[in-house]
Amino acid sequence: MRFTANEWLKPEDTKRTKDRVEFLCEWRAARAKVENVRRYRILSNRALVEVARRDPSKRDELLEVWGIGDKKADQFGRSLLAALAHFRSGPRLAIAAPKRKTTSKITRARKGSKAQLELRIAQ
């Protein structure tokens, strides 16, 4: 059986909290895709719902959430707090997945009369 973060919600949770959970689920999925790990490795469902309920705005507040210690705060805290600030700022927009850390180099070489472009991505 597959559990979702919504199963951790309580009847007394507000609609805003439920919307925040949905938004954070999208953030977690995007982050997991970039990190190439399963979603629960970013944040557990329980921790995600606790973040949505508490709505932290600083790292110290984030550290008070069940399931988030120094390591998680160092790895994902800045991104998570930015996502929450984005949610607070107004209408909900689609979450853009964070860019992978890559460097690229474009070189141009001439072969005959045609120019060729080559893109090298180092990861």
Count CB-CB contacts under 10 A for residue 93. 10
Provide the pLDDT for residue 19: 86
Phi, psi of 95 (to 5 degrees): -80, 130
Query: What is the residue extent of each domain of the chain?
Result: 5-122
User: According to the model, what pLDDT value does residue 102 have?
Assistant: 47
* Contact assessment for residue 21 and residue 9, using Cβ atoms and an 8 Å cutoff: yes
**Is 17 a residue whose pLDDT tops 80?**
yes
pLDDT digits (tens, 9 = 90+) for 79-123: 999 999 999 887 665 555 455 554 444 444 445 544 444 444 443
In terms of CATH, what superfamily is 5-122? HRDC domain (1.10.150.80)
Is residue 35 scored above 70 in pLDDT? Answer: yes
